[in-house]
Structures are given as structure tokens and as C-alpha cells.
A and B are shown apart, each in its own frame.
Chain A
Amino acid sequence: MATHAAHAHAHAHTHTVKRYKGLMDWLTTVDHKKIGILYLLAGFIFFLVGGLEAILIRIQLMKPMNDFVAADTFNELLTMHGTTMIFLAAMPMLFALMNAVIPLQIGARDVAFPFLNALGFWTFFFGGLLLNISWFTGTVPDAGWTSYVPLAGPTYNGTHGVDYYVIGLQIAGIGTLLGGINFMATIINMRAPGMSFMRMPMFTWAIFITSVLIVFAFPVLTVGLVAIMFDRLFQANFFEVGGGGNGVLWEHIFWVFGHPEVYILILPAFGVISEVVATFARKRLFGYSSMVFAIVLIAFLGFMVWAHHMFTTGLGPVANALFSIATMLIAVPTGVKIFNWLFTLWGGSIKFTTANLFAVGFIPTFVLGGVTGVMLASAPADYQYHDSYFVVAHFHYVIVGGLILGIFAGLHYWWPKMFGRMLNEGLGKLTFWTFFTGFHLTFFVQHFLGLLGMPRRVWTYLPNQGFETMNLISSIGAFLMGIGTIVFVVNVIIAWAKPRNAAADAWEDGRTLEWSIPSPPPEYNFKQIPLVRGLDAWWKEKMDGKTAMTPAEPLGPIHMPSPSILPLIMSIGLFIAGFGFMYQNHWVAAGGILVTFVCMFLRSVYDDHGFHIDPEEEEVQA
């Protein structure tokens, strides 16, 4: 067979690849833009499910000794709320933004491994589905999203609840790991000519480091879940005290994964904010290189601070002191980022679009979450904060006030690029103000609930402890957040009915490459791969009076990967195998695994020749 280039020209018009339409198109797509939309849709549905669970939790806690839900149901709700929000809502919505934006920002036609990209989505989706099916089988995970043993172990948790957690996350985790590998390889190998590492947009940098964290943190979770699964299904003794196991080992494993995980969640938000703030201030990001350095440092430190989740476990003063100091150090690079954002705004020409409102709302909110983080880092004081509502307030400030505000900012900002339609600004601002106000109402008071002695994860509380008023305020705030989310959904539905008329540079002040191509971009993204001449490549061309990027290659047919149904079937195989393992039906388990392996076999044996698109021809046809 000839080399690739020759092959491409020889067969430019001869290859006929079956191209699907409608539903089959979505099930077989390997296009990063469509996969991004799938991630967004699935992630948002899970976000609504997790949000509903949160509302039920807040209704139960609205007044003392409430009996709106039973005690064991409450534990199921809090477990599923945490697990759903982190693994099935927040991360997929981040993956949605990554998929929608990264290849465009680096001037690439797709990700490095389009097939794996689709596989990653489907494994996540079926993992999440498996986890949520537990609501219908009646045995729901109920040991918290941290699943501390022995509470989650076979001795004290005999039903299949935690099995759903273990196997669901294991399957979803495969998808996340694949995504991490994919985006690392994409960003290293697929950048357009001229885009050196130090010319990458900040969002790309953030995603690059996020992917690194995923690659090195998720295998730890994989092993932890395998161990707890073996304990539960095969009577192994990793964490069974009676068999010589040790529950503290699970805590270590979980948090060695878990702490980088929270940076996996927040770093992309940092990236989004950097893009949005710079765009709407019409200014270059202040202190770009220190921003890059800060992100790298945060990631590095992120692996050395896990035991600050375990100050009260009894690790001894040496460990507690070391982890206290290491944790406090993270405040320094984070502070650098905050000030850099403020000074990006300084001297700018700030336009308050919805996206920018979310971004500037993020800054003070995240500062509040950050300072409580430093407070928690002080181990002796943490003996008081730990596992109290103070911690609940802290991590919701960084995850909702940080990440979710960041995701909303990113969605409003890139919506025209993803869908070709603008979201309504009026409704967007209504979303912001209700969500933002509701958020602070819900979580600000929780700091004080914790300090007044209310432990977290409590199903109810006795009267006369000074908890009543603040819990009521908190619940009212939660409803307001719910209303904000509904307004967003309404906004999306209204936008859907409107024509696709968003401009290429939808906000007019776009700085990065994605704004140099139509909204939404054609299947091949760039007719010609652009030549990058500096940071903020598109802005630079605009300032030089150009209306298009300088191409780095001649026009020609574009090679595209073929769509494939295999990722979907492979994930279904794993999904079936998951149930087989859980209910100890070895035939079902083996059958599911076999389906997956047959798909891998087919993928290896049949080479994907792809097909070619001629952009000129397409334009003529249109």
C-alpha cells in the first residue's frame, strides 16, 4: 500500500463510506463537535437529576425532625447527588466544552483519536446509566460519594447498592481516562503550525493540564474500585478488618485520586474564565506566562495534598503538619490567577454579557471558596471544621461557585459556536441573577451551620440547636438555584426555535482561532489549516486588518475518519458485563466482555480508510 498522502489523492473520490442520517448519525459519530453536544446533553440531564436530588435534600432539611424522606432514602439521595454531580454532570459538561472547543482553538480538524473519543462518551454514558438504574432496582448506593469502608463494605452493606456505585464508576472511569489520553495527545501533536506551547489559548492550557491530571489520577480510582469490588463480590480482604484489611487504605487511595479530581473539575473553569474575561474586556490575558506556571504548579501540588481530607483519621502530627503546609501553598498560585484576572479587566473595556456576568461573578465567589480552603488547611482548626457543614459550604463554593459558574460562562460564551444560534441575553441575565443569588443564599449560611456544630450528611437535626433559621434560608436559596436552571432550559428551547444565524466571530471581540471559522463550523473545521503568528492568533490577524487567517496549506480534499457503531456496542457490552458481575451471573458477564472484545477485534482487523471531503465542491452544492 502506498504512503498516506499518495493514497489520499488517488482515492479522493472513489471511497464510498456509508454516511448516516438522523439518529444513526448521532449514534455512530466520531466528530468531536457532535460528541461535544452528546456530552452536553447527557451531562445536563444528569445535572438536572442531581439537582432534583439536591432539592429533595434541602426540602428534608428545611425544618428540624422533618420526615419528608426516610433516613436511608436520605443517605441514598446524598450519595447519588454527590456521585452524579461530580462524575456524571460536571465532568461530562467539561468534556462537552473540551470537545466543542479544543480542536478549534488549536487549529485542528479533529482530536487525535476520534474513535476513542466516541468510545469515551459511550462508556461514560452507560456507566452513568448503570449507576442511575439503581433507583429502579431499589438498591441505591448509600455510603456517600466517598464510599468509606467498612460502611460500603460487604459486612455492613449487604445489598447491591454500592455495587452499582463501584461498577458504574468503573465503566464511566474508562471513558474519562480515554478522554484524558486523547486530549493530551491532541494538544501535544495536533496544534496548527506556529502554535507553540506558549501561544496556546489559556483554555487549551487548562485542558491540557486537566488531561494530565485525569491520566495520572484515574488509574488510582480504578484500582480502588477494583479492590472494593473484589471485597464485595469475591470476598477479598483489602478493607475487611476481620480479614487483615485496612479501611484507612481505602481513604488514602480514594483521596490520592480524589484531590486531583477536584482540580480536574476546577482547572477547566479557570480556563473558561480566562477566555471570557479577556474577550469581553477586549484585552490580552494579563500575565499569561505566570498563569501557565500557576496552573502547572497547582496540578503538581494537587498530588501531594490528599491527606488534608484525612486530618482527623489519625495519621499523626508529622503527616498533618506536612499536609497542612503543602495545602496552604496551593493558595499562592491560585491567588496569582485571581489577581491576573482582575488586572486583565483593569484598563479594559468591559462588556457585561451573560457569559461575562458569570465570569465576573465567579471571581469573588471563588475567592470565598478559596479562603475557606486555606482555613481548612490548618489541621488543628480542621479538627473542628472537618465533616461539618463548613466543609459542605466550602466545597460547594469551589465546585458550584467555581466550576458550575465557569461552565455556565463557557456555555453562554461558546453556545453560538456550538449551535450557530445566540442564546437570549435577557433570559441569560435572569439565569445569572437567580442562580447567583440562590447560590449564595444556599451556601453562605452553611459555613456558620458548621461552626455552630452541625455535622454534614445528617438526615435531620434536633430542634433548639440554633440550626433552624439558617437551614430554612439555605433551602429557599436552593429553590432559587433551581429556578435559575429552569430559566436556562427555557432559554435553550427558545434559542432552538430561532434560525441559525450566529456570526463567525459571534461576540465581535473573539481572540482565538475558533472565532475565525463559521458558527457552527463545517465538519472539517478548517478549510485550510491556519498559520498561527502569535498568542490570540485571530485577534492578531484582526488587528493587522485581515479578515481571515493566513492558511498554512493549499486547498485540497480533506481526509475524514469514518463513523462507527462499534464504540456504542463496546460500551453496551461493558454495561451488560457490569450487570453480570453484580448479580454473579458469569455467563452474562462473559457475554458482555465478549461483545467488547469482538468489537476491539473488528476495530483492529478492519482498517479505517476514512473518506474525503472537497470543501470547494461542498460549497458549490450548497
Chain B
Amino acid sequence: MASNHSVSGEEAKRHKLEGPQKHIVAFVLSLALTIIAFAAVAAGEINTTFTYIILVVMALIQVFVQLAFWMHMKDRGHLFPIICILSGVFVVFAMVIMAVYWVWW
């Protein structure tokens, strides 16, 4: 039996105590990352490739933050969710490479 649900007393307590602070930090972080991305585009002075890199990096960090904190993927018992999302990402990664390089060859 998959035992990804055993909730010990201590952990339950930890959950009870978990306050909103961490999530507000995650929110502020997401906010900052979003603003950086928009600012990089709004400024319009930087060269295109560099802007692209900033945008992609900001998006990836933000998604990581949201998955980890808001979707609880950092918590215990989330092995299969992590596998599911990562497998999806793996397939998508292959397809995005295809889209960027091969379609117009």
C-alpha cells in the first residue's frame, strides 16, 4: 500500500501552526519576479536575446516558487505529484525544442 498519507501527530501539529507568513513571502516573491519581467520589457532598451533570457528565468523561478509553496509540492507525501508534473514537463520540453527548431526547417 502506498503510504504517502501517514500523518503523524507531530506533523499535524506543524500543519496547524503553519501560518500565512510563508505564503505571503511567496506572494511577494512572485510579485517581484513578475514586475522584473514586465519592467524588462517595458524598458525596451535591452537587446532581445537578453530580454528573452530574463523572461524565461523569471518565469521558471516563479513557477518553482508557486509549485513548491502554494501547491505544497515541497511537503512530504508528494512524491507522485512531483513525478507527474516532471514527466509532463519532460514531454513538453521535447515538444518546445521541436517547436523552436524543427518546424520551419
Contact = CB atoms under 8 A, between A and B. Distances in A.
Given A193-B1, A215-B84, A316-B102, 13 more contacts: A189-B1, A192-B1, A216-B91, A217-B91, A220-B91, A249-B103, A252-B99, A252-B103, A256-B98, A303-B91, A303-B94, A307-B98, A307-B102
Interface in A315-329: 315-316, 319
Given A216-B88, A314-B105, A252 B98 contact: yes
Contacts of B91: 216-217, 220, 256, 303
The residue among B80, B90, B98 with the most chain A CB atoms within 10 A of its own CB is: B98
Interface string A1-28: 0000000000000000000000000000
Contacts of B35: none
Contact of B102 (A193, A212, A216, A252): A252
Contacts, number: 45
B2 A191 contact: yes
A246 interface: yes
Nearest to A252: B98
B2 A188 contact: yes
Interface in A299-318: 303-304, 307, 314-316
Contacts of A314: 105
Interface in A405-431: none
User: Size band of the B side of the interface?
Assistant: 10 to 19
Interface of A: 188-189, 191-193, 195, 212, 215-217, 220, 246, 248-249, 252, 256, 303-304, 307, 314-316, 319
A481 B88 CA distance: 40
Interface of B: 1-2, 80, 84, 87-88, 90-91, 94-95, 98-99, 102-105
A248 B104 CA distance: 8
A128 B2 CA distance: 36
Contacts of A212: 87
Contact of A315 (B80, B84, B105): B105
A315 B1 contact: no
Contacts of B103: 246, 248-249, 252
Given A315-B102, A316-B105, A319-B102, A220 B95 contact: yes
Nearest to A189: B2
A256 B94 contact: yes
Nearest to B80: A188
A249 B102 CA distance: 9
A189 B1 CA distance: 6
Interface residue SS majority, chain B? helix
A315 B103 CA distance: 8
Nearest to A197: B2
A316 to B, nearest CB: 5
Give me the 3 closest cross-chain CB pairs, A-B, nearest first: A216-B91, A316-B105, A249-B103
The residue among B1, B91, B103 with the most chain A CB atoms within 10 A of its own CB is: B1
Contacts of B98: 252, 256, 307
Nearest to A188: B2
A303 B1 contact: no
A599 to B, nearest CB: 27
A252 B104 CA distance: 12
A212 B102 CA distance: 26
B94 A304 contact: yes
Nearest to A251: B103
A220 B80 CA distance: 21
Given A191-B1, A315-B102, A316-B105, A256 B87 contact: no
Contacts of B102: 248, 252, 307, 315-316, 319
Contact of A256 (B1, B95, B105): B95
Contacts of B87: 212, 216
Contacts of B1: 189, 191-193, 195
Nearest to B101: A319
Contacts of A217: 91
A58 B84 CA distance: 44
A440 to B, nearest CB: 36
Nearest to A216: B91
Contacts of A319: 102, 105
8 contacts: A189-B1, A191-B2, A216-B91, A252-B99, A252-B102, A256-B94, A307-B102, A315-B102
Nearest to B105: A316
Contacts of B104: 246
B6 to A, nearest CB: 13
Contacts of B99: 249, 252
A303 B2 contact: no
A552 to B, nearest CB: 10
B41 to A, nearest CB: 24
Contacts of A195: 1
A250 to B, nearest CB: 10
Contacts of A191: 1-2
Contacts of B84: 215
A227 to B, nearest CB: 13
A195 B1 CA distance: 7
Nearest to B104: A246
A546 to B, nearest CB: 22
A352 to B, nearest CB: 38
Contacts of B95: 220, 252, 256
